[in-house]
Structure 1
Amino acid sequence: MVVRTILIVDDEPGTRQGIRKTLELWADGRYRIESVANGVEAAEWLAHNTAHLLITDVRMPEISGLDLIRSLEDRPDRPASVVISGYAEFEYVQTALRFGTVGYLLKPIDKDELLEITERALKQEEERHRAEKLAKLVDPKLFAMEEEVLRPNGPVGEVMAYVDEHLQEHLTMADMAAKVHLNASYFSVLFKEQAGITFSEYVTRRRIQRAKELLTQTRLSVGEIAEQVGYNTDKYFIKVFKQLEQISPSRYRNEMAALQ
């Protein structure tokens, strides 16, 4: 189990140590609490570690809290953020809020407010990562079909169910049409009409969907997964996966692991 981490960044030793002590008592070992003295140290720490929550002073020399938050925008494992400010710095706070910061703490920091916003930020971070992981895991076209209850009964539904249970096998439209006693040309038109995508696209999307589940939930190699979802070579599997997901299977696995 990954221990979630809170990183505190403040160039005032008293504030930094006070926040750390309060959070360590509250966390009681449930979270890893780390602290650094400025934005430069924070950037270095974040280059080699993952934080789930960043609590940072909004104004610091060299690298400000705002710069730090901006620098993390495109990271798949970006943390939730809370900024610390003085009354004269509210313009900076407003900018931070536009970057998705959960909220702010005014100095001197109230312990109850610190704990309340910490719990809220961690909850939001967990929900966001869960949503991002689901979005990366689920094929949008297949999801839309199921959401709109477009999976039909009859021959097309029967073939869909068969495909889902036999992804590792060689699946052709001609064989599937014969299975439901239909002419291949007629079945091709019927499938596209009822499913909204062609038979071959459906098979490809189902195979890649299953591959994503295996990449996320197992330690099987890419080659083993390719075989389980019906590809004779991992090279061709990787090519198809990249075409559909714009990312390699290995990188997909790493990015999903980062969202844990």
Structure 2
Amino acid sequence: MYHVLVVEDEPLIRDAIVEMVQQLDGFKVTGEAAGCEEGWRLVQELWPTLLITDIQLPDGDGLELITRIREHKLPIVSIIVSGHDNFPYAQNAIRLQVSEYLLKPISEQELHASIARSMSRLESFAEPNQMLTDIQLFVDGMSGGEPSQLFGQADRLLDAIWHLRSQEEGVKRSYFNILIGKLVEYMKAIYPAFEGAELPEGANRHQIRLVVHDLLHEWIKRYPQFAGNNMRLVIARACEYMQEHLQEEITLTQISGYSNLSASYFGVLFKQYTGKSFVNYFNQIRIDKALELLRSSDMKIYEIAEAVGFVSLPYFNRVFKQVSSMTPNEYRKSLGL
């Protein structure tokens, strides 16, 4: 299954692209973003195989997002959707190894054809992309794992990265840096005074393992203290705020500002506390409220979508089905309503 991230600030166009992708067997849209920064955050959380992005975004452009992907040597195929036939943009897209450059309005046939032409690259990225997913699963599971088992899990992950097949120089080092960066990020989330760690230039396998083991020792020492401290109350208050403002389009940046924390710090803390990313948690409680309204009111579905903060009915329907495994209509019918 190829996971897709769609970055587009116009809801109707984003909905259309998502629907087109969902028509293809073997492809699943796992993330949607309206801006460059939100898109980059989701890249580092979801590790998609395919990125479809607009160029002109409210807080930057799609090429900036793709530049970051290339700098980190991430195995992600990129397709650009642009409203302008801009030659300098096209030149930069070629330099960044963008797979396709499509002009709006795009048809389903055009998008499907562009994805088909990108299949050989997608297939070649399958193994390294899985490695990034494994890194994310490891760091996300640290709080619930047995401390004694973390070192063995980390060693297996390091060995897998070391034996990764790649023709591109620096890919393995980039993946080691991603793992260490994630560990440092999570450490700073539970212990803000932590100074961090870096991989020495030209580090060998033994040195890499020592850096990772030192970080895990710190995690095992500090996490129990975090689990009982006041930061849990900060996240609990944020959850209450989200529950009381379901009808609003709350972003990670907004809720972290409400909590007087940086977005990256808040995101890690939130996941440690709730077991879910901010987006998944917020969608869950909004859909829970929608389920209640479907059961207890005769509101139309578009009215319920608006009441729980979805500006787009197709987006509401997609999220509803992801969370509840059925559409809003199917849910009402299952209740005999």
TM-score, with length taken from structure 2:
0.38
Higher Rg of the two aligned structures: 1
TM-score, with length taken from structure 1:
0.48
